[in-house]
Every structure is written in structure tokens, then in C-alpha cells.
Amino acid sequence: MLKVVRCPHCQVKVSWEYNPNRPFCSERCQTIDLGAWAEGKYCISGEEFDQESKSENGDDEEGSP
């Protein structure tokens, strides 16, 4: 039995097996999604990274022995 999923971008039903662009239906939808990530339309929540809190040699200020 073939597994069928919906494309995250256009919601078209597409077979999971033998699909080189999975979970997307096509390279076009895959590229549109990648572009949205690059433009900052999507984000993953978490702590902000502050590069100034790192010392010059790359060690954490808190974690240095």
C-alpha cells in the first residue's frame, strides 16, 4: 500500500514512495519553501544567540575552567 501525504506548500496529495521531492509534490514547491526560510518568514523559537558573549578564543565566559 502506497503512503499518500499532502504537499506542505500547495496541499496536493502526493505519493511518499519514489518521490525525490518529498514531502513536497515538486521541485517548485520545495524551492518556494526554501525561499520562505531564507527570507525569515519561518523561524524556530529559542534563545537568541549573542556573539558578543563569547570570548575571543571561542570559549564560553561561564564555562571556562
How many C-beta atoms lie closer than 10 Å to residue 35's C-beta?
Answer: 10
Task: Tell me the pTM.
Answer: 0.62
Q: pLDDT tens across 37-52, in order?
A: 999 898 888 887 777 7
| pLDDT tens-digit series, residues 9-62 | 999 999 999 899 999 999 999 999 999 999 989 888 888 777 776 555 555 555
- Provide the pLDDT for residue 56: 52
Q: In 3D, which of 3, 7, 29, 27 has the Cα closest to residue 15? A: 3
Q: Choose between 63 and 33: higher pLDDT.
A: 33
6 phi/psi in degrees, rounded to 5: -100, 140
Catalogue all structural domains in the chain, each as residue range(s) with its CATH number.
Answer: 4-42 (3.30.50.10)
